[in-house]
């Protein structure tokens, strides 16, 4: 069976690790743009030119989206996916999702599956043509895989039939992301793995940490990531900012004592899932995060929560974990158990395979 995973500029190893176990069972191939988040995946990949590959210029995506409805179109995609049994896209309004729908209506492909992360109903509808793209998706996509119940509810509110939706959480390699016995470093290391942008709450975390550091010099904070706030986070004692390839990032979790991701919310964005939260839990770390978007559903009772932007509570929760080794240990054990139960990529891959076979037999 021929399965194509289309992700355009959003192709990345974090999600695609859930599909790679299927490469022996199916004829599996991923399709991306020429420039993507990361092409470090372990099954065949074909790159196509996309509007997203244009050099950056002021207001690039607002302009392209208004001219073309969505910039994430892939030139020649219809020819590449022709003859596929299942084309697996993402969301309901991306350009390549619409291209796949048109290909199906022309009889070029058999079935379409879409993974949906969006948790805000009727989001991304302000651009001309987006509502029509979404309506075509509701009518022509054979199955929607919502990564959270909140994403499922958003689809239902937009008019998608419940029988076409399944909640399928994405996982990670829990054999790679696993607890490791640490040597006593004589202090507490706090880790944040995220894009360094305002909505991830990284400036809130820095502010809380600097307050903690005033009375406790044996704490360290590490930001792993990149983004426009990178320079704003640098230059403070016991604060480190750096990039680490995904192939080595599990080592960073294994050296940390606490993981923190205090995500904020905007009118058009909230944390939809948070793969770094799952990686932290699988590594047995206690988590401090916010109750924004899908985070409470992902972490359940294995995290201490704040309201987005509440630096006072953020500091309080971090102080609580810093001063309570037994609580850190018990939370970490519970987090690991949750990861083993719900976020094992091998279990996810097995279910994906069942879904593909079921669709092909219809």
Domain range enclosing 222: 188-342
pTM of the model: 0.95
Same domain? For 81 and 124 the reply is: yes
Strand pairing class (165-167; 143-146): parallel
Same domain? For 27 and 70 the reply is: yes
The values of phi and psi at residue 72, to 5°, are -85, 55
Same domain? For 44 and 115 the reply is: yes
Spatial CB neighbours of 237, under 8 Å, sequence gap ≥ 6: 213
Q: What is the pLDDT of residues 247-272, one digit of tens each?
A: 999 999 999 999 999 999 999 999 99
Within a domain: residue 74?
A: yes
Within a domain: residue 335?
A: yes
pLDDT at 181: 85
Same domain? For 351 and 317 the reply is: no
Within a domain: residue 179?
A: no
Within a domain: residue 176?
A: no
pLDDT at 54: 97
Spatial CB neighbours of 163, under 8 Å, sequence gap ≥ 6: none
pLDDT at 185: 74
Q: What is the mean pLDDT of the chain?
A: 97
Same domain? For 130 and 22 the reply is: yes
Spatial CB neighbours of 13, under 8 Å, sequence gap ≥ 6: 38, 40, 41, 246
Q: What is the pLDDT of residues 313-353, one digit of tens each?
A: 999 999 999 999 999 999 999 999 999 999 999 999 999 99
- Dihedral sign, Cα of residue 34, residue 36, residue 40, residue 45: negative
Number of domains, the chain: 2
Same domain? For 95 and 196 the reply is: no
CATH number of the CATH domain containing 289: 3.40.50.2000
With H, G, I as helix, E, B as strand and everything else as coil, classify residue 325. helix
With H, G, I as helix, E, B as strand and everything else as coil, classify residue 223. strand
Spatial CB neighbours of 321, under 8 Å, sequence gap ≥ 6: 258, 286, 288, 304, 327, 328, 331
- Contact by Cβ (8 Å): 339, 174: yes
Instruction: Say if residue 183's pLDDT is above 80.
Output: no
Task: Give the mean pLDDT of 48-75.
Answer: 97
Same domain? For 72 and 32 the reply is: yes
Instruction: Say if residue 186's pLDDT is above 90.
Output: no
Same domain? For 312 and 236 the reply is: yes
pLDDT at 361: 86
Q: Treating both helix axes as pointing N-terminal to C-terminal, what angle do 311-322 and 202-213 enclose, rounded to 10 degrees?
A: 50
pLDDT at 182: 79
Within a domain: residue 352?
A: yes
Same domain? For 6 and 107 the reply is: yes
Same domain? For 76 and 127 the reply is: yes
Q: What is the pLDDT of residues 4-53, one digit of tens each?
A: 999 999 999 999 999 999 999 999 999 999 999 999 999 999 999 999 99
Within a domain: residue 182?
A: no
Task: Give the mean pLDDT of 142-148.
Answer: 98
Percentage of the chain beyond pLDDT 70 is 100
With H, G, I as helix, E, B as strand and everything else as coil, classify residue 237. coil
Same domain? For 205 and 158 the reply is: no
Q: What is the pLDDT of residues 81-138, one digit of tens each?
A: 999 999 999 999 999 999 999 999 999 999 999 999 999 999 999 999 999 999 999 9
Same domain? For 338 and 354 the reply is: no
Q: Report the b/e string of 140-167 with b at 16+ CB within 10 A.
A: ebbbbbbbbebbbbbbbebebeeeebeb
Q: Where are the beta strands (DSSP E) in the chain?
A: 2-8, 27-33, 45-48, 86-90, 111-116, 143-146, 165-167, 188-193, 219-224, 239-242, 258-261, 287-290, 303-306
Within a domain: residue 177?
A: no
Within a domain: residue 227?
A: yes
Strand pairing class (258-261; 188-193): parallel
């Amino acid at each position: 069976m021929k399965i194509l995973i289309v992700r355009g500029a959003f192709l990345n190893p974090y999600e695609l690790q859930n599909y790679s176990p299927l490469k022996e069972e199916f004829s599996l191939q991923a399709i991306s743009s020429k420039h993507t988040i990361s092409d470090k995946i372990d099954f065949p990949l074909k790159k196509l030119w996309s509007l997203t590959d244009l050099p950056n210029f002021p207001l690039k995506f607002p302009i392209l989206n208004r001219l073309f409805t969505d910039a994430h179109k892939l030139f020649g995609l219809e020819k590449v996916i022709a003859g596929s049994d299942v084309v697996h896209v993402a969301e309901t309004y991306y350009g390549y999702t619409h291209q796949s729908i048109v290909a199906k209506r022309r009889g070029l492909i058999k079935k379409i599956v879409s993974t949906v992360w969006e948790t805000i109903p009727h989001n991304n509808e302000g651009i001309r043509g987006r509502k029509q793209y979404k309506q075509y998706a509701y009518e022509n996509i054979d199955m929607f895989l919502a990564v959270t119940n909140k994403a499922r509810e958003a689809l239902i509110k937009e008019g998608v039939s419940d029988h076409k939706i399944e909640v399928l959480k994405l996982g990670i390699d829990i054999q790679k992301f696993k607890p490791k016995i640490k040597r006593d470093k004589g202090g507490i290391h706090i880790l944040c793995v995220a894009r360094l942008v305002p909505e991830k709450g990284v400036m809130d975390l820095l502010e809380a940490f600097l307050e903690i550091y005033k009375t406790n010099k044996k704490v360290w904070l590490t930001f792993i990531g990149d983004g426009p706030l990178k320079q704003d986070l640098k230059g403070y004692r016991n604060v480190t900012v750096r990039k680490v390839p995904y192939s080595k990032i599990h080592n960073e979790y294994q050296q940390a004592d606490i993981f923190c991701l205090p995500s904020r919310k905007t009118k058009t964005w909230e944390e939809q899932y948070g793969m770094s939260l799952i990686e932290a839990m699988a590594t047995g770390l206690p988590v401090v995060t916010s109750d924004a978007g899908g985070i409470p559903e992902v972490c359940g009772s294995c995290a201490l929560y704040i309201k987005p932007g509440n630096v006072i509570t953020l500091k309080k929760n971090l102080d609580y974990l810093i001063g309570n080794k037994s609580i850190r240990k018990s939370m970490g054990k519970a987090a690991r158990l949750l990861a083993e139960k719900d976020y094992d990529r091998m279990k996810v891959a097995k279910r994906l395979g069942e879904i593909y076979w079921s669709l092909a037999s219809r």
